[in-house]
Chain A
């Protein structure tokens, strides 16, 4: 044992520099795992401890309609039983707001929240500038707004802002509010007003999308019972309830998932490092072959020698993992500094630090992966014969059963490690299979490309000829470099192309003549005036439509395959029928619609008939001839399905309705209008158009697709940045593997360079040879990554995003060129001593 330990120390001392880069790869992956897990665990801690403050209550009861009297009585009863001791109500609705000053001609959509004095029951509204929130700030037409609304409307505290028909004075700026967790998509920035002032705005007209919420405080022991009772009794009334615990559970699940999936990213990097370790171990053993033969010659057994190298791998794997934890610590420590600018986020409340469990997991994975990937190549030690010291001979390779068993065990262990990290055996298997598949495809592609450039081995240029030959020299690292660098290029080029593709899709949609603005909540009585307003060319808007809409819920189906009775059954078994739908009626099909079953009407009728969109019909198993029951504001209507329509959702700005009714029965039902239209192109004219419209019709909301595209662009650039960072890490690992591979095979190059120099090649020729070799290697890796990205964008465009597939030649060409330059630069720079060494000394040493 003494021998094994001492040899392990000596071997590590001798070779750690050469092996360092591979273990830095392990360190990068471990750092990613540890940092991600630690951050998520920290955030999760604060979110959990603040769950009540985030929800703002123990229980929240909400509805999108006015509280029905009967339901209200039920709620009162249940709250009394549960011993509720505090309660407050709010109403929330998206609406247009604009500066009161008529000279500023802008209007923006905002999320209005009207609150009572008790709000919030938990947590607090934080205001900027150290101002303390109290409800008195809102009383007598006061308003609190988010800073982004101020800047969008060019307002400041003290100015007047118009909400609906009423003016409010801005009395403070919201830094943070309850009920706003991290993330989440909203139509616009928040504005608070007093509950008592809401009526005066005139926003609660018929059909508005206001949501009424009731925040309740009950003893903790009664929360569960209250929830059960509310859910049981109020479902029919379309009233939802949730508790801080359901939020906690949901958040808990989200965090679990986020933690597990994100740490898989780290694991992928660690595995990449592992592949590099495997490849380098193979070369390492090849280089150590004589030393191993000597050890066997002087009495060492194979098992002892393998143990020496396993110990060495353990030490380096552990060192790499510890380095990873240190990197993670530094990165995590930097988070509060990075967050300082957005000091209002709940994220700033977390205490960021590397958690023990994350560090332990990271270290365990780093060491395990290093070990697993080196075992199989280390088994080759058994085949090294001491007789090679007397005579150079290659031993005949026998079938290595032990090696095969080891391979199987190692593969299973890797699946186990991945499954452990993802907390799911299925994910473990899928990720490992996916990785193996990807590695296999990249290998094949690598082999194919190396074969494709093989004819260059006959090129006239001496450096190019040898550069190509070197790609397939014995002990070459071509495949592992192609895999590592190619994978990094794949991530980056792929995600950049996807982003470009999505943005182009949006900009095409917003640049053509199709509608780019959407008016909501136009009251029936306003329809004529709105039509006149939009038709007036002085307002600068293009073609428009006024579409009547009604909100309804499906409460029953009786049909060939589907029989549902009541809202409960629809919710439970009706697949996607359980939500609230917006429906319309008309006598024609829109250009993006096509009837695929039954026939569409072209005239009104007194009998109710409905046409159903294909996907919903398939999912809910609805057929022509079935009868459905809709609850439209308390009135039940029973139309027969007379057609199934295919809707091209990509072009749905004029006609994206799941249910279209035949004109007639709904004509006199309470309804509002929406209007898709082409707004003015000039941004100033656009702002003015919205302002003028809202000034005339204060209850009408305008959704500006240009703003939406901006928001999507913003979200997308963050996602892209995140994935680019991951790709960057993979590419960085690829670069480390490359440097390591160059260092590992340098002895061969130094010798060859010495021979070439003796034969008359000058340093420039050798430098060019190196440059070509790595340039070709980098180009191949770039091409592999780029091809992978083409497949990725095609699949994601076609199946996930359902947008047309586009190729962005610039992204791909830039990807290949940059990868080639990167690899060539790293390759040449890490081979500088090949150029510097004097040939005689090298040849003597051989």
Chain B
């Protein structure tokens, strides 16, 4: 479960402090598919970054499965991300010097997984890129790159996937493809998915909606419910 307690974020813009996110408390139970929506600058990506531990809140605490991640140092945070959180970015952020295969394999290698090859191949198959595994990011289309990024996010079969405008940089067909993949992952694995978007149509595909405006929550349709069982079809990482 993801839990935010009075989390806020203030940055300095020029010499003035600027509050991007006003104090916010919320819980996202296991297995939820949540869409965070709102216009540009409303604090969506900031909120996502705080949940992933990519950024530290100015106040409050973020708990992932009861662990307060604001108290962890960089290296422990990295480890936690490696095990529990997959991240999909709007601009893909693949490592340009690695092939599609290698980009997907890296998180497993960091975690010390043994059967990297078969798992990587299966993940690439799952996102429909079997034939493209030895291509570099520069040789892939935007949609393909985002599918590699998605496979990478799923590498260690994390219970949580955070997606920051994953379709924002794609044409509508590719965007739809990514959304379908996200939905099928959610359905098949019971993964908690937090999706940031400003596209109402995409947001409608989620179970719940969190609407942000100027750093404040203006709508929250999150309901607390029992999590769906975590799908075991894919082998668990064996550290």
A residues sitting closer than 8 Å to B (CB atoms) are 2-3, 6-7, 10-11, 13-15, 290-291, 293-304, 385-387, 389-391, 393, 845
Contact = CB atoms under 8 A, between A and B. Distances in A.
A301 B78 contact: yes
B110 A300 contact: yes
B106 A387 contact: no
Interface string B35-78: 00000000001101100101100000000000000000011001
Interface stretch (B95-103, B126-134, B180-188, B221-229): B95-103
B97 A298 contact: no
Contacts of B52: 297
B64 to A, nearest CB: 14
Given A297-B52, A300-B110, A389-B54, 13 more contacts: A7-B106, A15-B97, A290-B93, A296-B78, A297-B87, A297-B93, A298-B107, A299-B81, A299-B82, A386-B54, A386-B78, A391-B45, A845-B138
14 contacts: A10-B97, A14-B97, A290-B93, A295-B95, A297-B87, A298-B81, A299-B82, A299-B107, A300-B110, A301-B75, A385-B54, A390-B49, A390-B54, A391-B46
Contacts of B164: 390
Contacts of B96: 14, 291
B69 to A, nearest CB: 13
Contacts of A15: 97
Interface string B135-149: 000100000000000
Interface in B146-162: 152, 155-156
A13 B136 CA distance: 13
Contact of B48 (A2, A6, A390): A390
Contacts of A303: 75
Contacts of B152: 298
B111 interface: yes
A678 to B, nearest CB: 76
B199 interface: no
Nearest to A6: B109
Contact of B93 (A11, A301, A389, A845): A389
A298 B138 CA distance: 21
A655 B79 CA distance: 86
B118 to A, nearest CB: 16
B78 A390 contact: no
A564 to B, nearest CB: 75
Contacts of B107: 298-299
Contacts of A301: 74-75, 78-79
Nearest to B20: A391
Contacts of B109: 2-3, 6-7
A528 B34 CA distance: 121
Interface residues of B, number: 35
B3 interface: no
Main secondary structure of the interface of A (DSSP, over half): helix
Contacts of B11: 393
Interface string B1-39: 000000000010000000000000000000000000000
Contacts of A294: 93-95
Given A387-B49, A391-B46, A295 B55 contact: no
A400 to B, nearest CB: 15
Given A2-B109, A389-B93, A298 B82 contact: yes
Contacts of B94: 294
B110 A304 contact: yes
A10 B102 contact: yes
A329 B187 CA distance: 66
B158 to A, nearest CB: 10
Given A3-B109, A296-B78, A299-B78, A390 B46 contact: yes
B110 A298 contact: yes
Task: List 3 tightest A-B contacts by C-beta distance, closest first.
Answer: A299-B82, A14-B97, A3-B109
A303 B73 CA distance: 13
A212 to B, nearest CB: 78
Contact of A295 (B79, B89, B106): B106
A381 to B, nearest CB: 11
B89 A389 contact: yes
B112 A390 contact: no
Nearest to B79: A299
Contacts of B74: 296, 301-302
B86 to A, nearest CB: 8
Interface in B164-216: 164
Nearest to A386: B54
B110 A3 contact: yes
B43 to A, nearest CB: 11
Given A291-B96, A302-B74, A3 B54 contact: no
Contacts of B138: 845
Nearest to A292: B95
Contacts of B75: 301-303
Contacts of B81: 297-299, 386
A498 B219 CA distance: 82
Contacts of A13: 97
Contacts of B102: 10
Nearest to B111: A299
Contacts of B82: 298-300
A299 B46 contact: no
Contacts of B87: 297-298
A298 B106 contact: yes
Nearest to B53: A386
Nearest to A393: B11
Nearest to B105: A6
Contacts of A2: 109, 112
Contacts of A300: 78, 82, 106, 110
Nearest to B116: A2
Give the most central of B74, B83, B155: most A CB within 10 Å.
B74
A14 B95 CA distance: 11
Contact of B83 (A295, A297, A299): A299
Nearest to B102: A10
B93 A299 contact: no
Contacts of B95: 291, 294-295
Nearest to B83: A299
A167 to B, nearest CB: 84
Nearest to A294: B93
Give the most central of A302, A386, A845: most B CB within 10 Å.
A386
Nearest to B52: A297
Given A3-B112, A297-B81, A10 B98 contact: yes
B77 to A, nearest CB: 9
Give the most central of A2, A7, A390, A393: most B CB within 10 Å.
A390
A296 B81 CA distance: 9
Contacts of B106: 3, 7, 295, 298, 300
B54 A387 contact: yes
A299 B110 contact: yes
A299 B95 CA distance: 14
B90 to A, nearest CB: 9
A295 B97 CA distance: 12
A296 B102 CA distance: 16
A355 B65 CA distance: 63
Contacts of A297: 52, 54, 81, 87, 93
B50 to A, nearest CB: 9
Contacts of A393: 11
A439 to B, nearest CB: 32
A748 to B, nearest CB: 15
A10 B93 CA distance: 17
A681 B138 CA distance: 77
A14 B155 CA distance: 23
A385 B55 CA distance: 8
B235 to A, nearest CB: 18
Contacts of A293: 93
Contacts of A295: 95, 106, 110
A659 to B, nearest CB: 78
Contacts of A14: 96-98
Nearest to A5: B109
Give the most central of B54, B82, B87: most A CB within 10 Å.
B54
Nearest to B45: A390
